[in-house]
Structure 1
Amino acid sequence: MGLKIEVDPGEVGFDAERLGRIDRHFAQYVETGKLPGWLVLVARHGKIAHLSTHGMRDVASNAPVQPDTLFRIYSMSKPITSVAIMMLHEEGAFELTDPVSDFIPSFADLRVYSGGTANAPLTRPATEPMRIWHLLTHTSGLTYAFHYLNPVDELYRRAGFEYGMADDLDLAGCCDEWASMPLLFDPGQAWNYSVATDVLGRIVEVASGQTLDEFFRTRIFEPLGMTDTGFSVDRANADRLATLYAADPQGKARQHPRQAQMRAAAFELPKALSGGGGLFSSAHDYHRFSQMLLRGGELDGTRLLGNRTLRYMTRNHLPGGADLEKLALGAFSEVANAGKGFGLGFAVIDDPVAAKVLSSAGEFSWGGLASTAFWVDPAEDLTVLFLTQLIPSSANPIRPQLHQLVYQSLVD
């Protein structure tokens, strides 16, 4: 169960001294107060070649980040939900072109924002039904309350979604509320980061007959040995849970103003299970998940997805093969979008040159609100994981810098 380095870096193509640059670089983030602490894991050919931690999981008590620290992974929940929905797709539960309303009736007869204010929005009927593939690709027309760019975003905040799910609603109720609000655009016409993956979580429940936490536990977590991952934290593991921090106007990490409430809530199963951002996990568990993805849906004899399905999910599915720079509305981006498409639950590098980052075509990835990140590079047989707890993820250029530091260390 314990994480450890499993292979000499040189045996899997790394220069050990160059790998050390990762630690030296990100140690500066802690020393200058930009991050409380972090964990980095780099694996190649299925073996962990680099594993390091630095700084604190809780600054006030001087408790260090350790290999078994538990983190809020926020939107790194999304790839897990996307795997869950595609597992059901493989069982014939639906076609990707099926309307969402087949599973959630409130998504019939959707309307699209056409002007006006949040107090008096103008709308028109949607020209296209919202389909399951729209949810998987974030081309559904849904949004997030935190975007602050469109009157519809304000409608989400007024309905109680500013900090995630509305307190008084379960997942089914949240979906009905989102369906009652206007879309930003007709489904399929643009890319906008949104609650779409939470809607997918509800489809998992309807199609499987299980609650989302039960499906995850029995179909994904237990089969993969992901014993630390879930929508809440066992009180016996309270000391392992990292404190959540937020960047102040000077870029320094300060304890998040809602940390006390959020820590208390971490030990209770939430009323609304957020497949878009509600999971806690550990480096051990997410490494297991990443290795399953790298191996085409299988790990240690347990197969969750067929390898053709995984390859299909990690192609660019944006209309016309566009990259995110062309199709995204601009409401949200943690990294540059040129050269990067979006598959079924993952960002996908189509052109590393256009992306201006050391990488490989076909790399797929995602990250979380608290500056966590992971990627899988099938061309290099490589997985990388970075865990910390700082909101927002845009506060520091961690992800592009981690890319350049990892790839410069490969020398085979």
Structure 2
Amino acid sequence: MKRVVVGLSGGVDSSVTAHLLKEQGYEVIGLFMKNWHDDSVTISNECPWLEDSNDAMIVAEKLGIPFQVVDLSAQYKERIVDYMFDEYSKGRTPNPDVLCNREIKFDVFMDIALKLGADYVATGHYCRKGEEIIDGKSVYKLFAGKDNNKDQSYFLCQLSQEQLAKALFPIGELTKPEVREIAKEADLITAEKKDSQGLCFIGKVRLPEFLQQKLQPKAGEIVTIPADFNAYVKEHPKFENKEEELNYFATKFSYNKEDGKVVGKHQGAHYFTKGQRKGLNVGGTKEALYVIETDVNENVIYTGEGKNHAGLYRNVLFVSNDEMHWIREDLTLKSGETMQVDARIRYRQKLENATLHKVDAGLYVEFDNKQSAIQEGQFVAWYKNEELLGSGVIS
């Protein structure tokens, strides 16, 4: 009997994961990750982890599997929360869920599982794993989940071959309604439980309040940029080569306060992110204002009217070599090579046609269609035929 440690979160997905593995004859152990109890920073008013760990324990009892709570809050603070504060302070937008999977679930947590003699670590992610022998060795593949509505492969876009080798995703072939049905039949307390929102194993985070605890408020101005701003309408130069063209289109627009008009005040540019509409509290415009750029050095937020404002859109982004990651190491591009892929720059976005261009300094991702709110710090992930091949941090 192979031993599997399941990250039991107290939700229906991980409950069914444990149930299915037990049915398949594995020896299953349930562990709940306690990722937060820092009194100097409150993450939310509710304290969902208490209720969640309780639900996880009840599920483990029902399934007749050993259960314990592991405290990973020190590592979580250092690797996720401190990183989030640092990124926001630089005017970038991190994705803590992608990091949590790479740094916590499939690293710190996986180490604990392996020390318990586990052969595998299983999670309730909606994605699928494949394996193929290439040149005499096993190559592991990560595929989108069968349920298009719930596919969570994007959150695992930073996993390595070593991590995938030890990972199991038992519900990847199922849809959410099927998972709930199985939970009901198995009489699991989590069958009807609502999906958790927010950070993995922590719950709902009210981001502005969260950030204000470490990043001090600092009054600044909101400037709105007109739709006919000269940089949007100027003629493009002639390019010597493709790399020059890609670099030109990957470069974001730069603004000065004189380029638009001051329409309001804010409490800190580092609390805002590109594409954001809520929280600006500026009235009197025909269409809603969207953040098109934040300048944390000058503490200015630049906005544009309407979600089709030219300042929101670009079709090329860049990933530097040190932020680039291939799950399929065997497919890594060499400088000068290109690859046709489907790509997304955020979870739940539909996949878009794109071309990868490898250059000496990194990788350009050129989309066929312009993308809204390409934001530094977020992850771009690229796929082929439902397989997630790699990802990188947008620079």
Q: Does the TM-score normalized on the shorter chain lie above 0.5?
A: no
Compare the two structures and name the one with the higher helix fraction: 1
What TM-score, normalized by structure 1, do the two folds share? 0.27
The structure with higher relative contact order (CA 8 Å, sep 6+) is 1
Instruction: Please tell me whether Structure 1 or Structure 2 has the larger radius of gyration of its CA atoms.
Output: 2
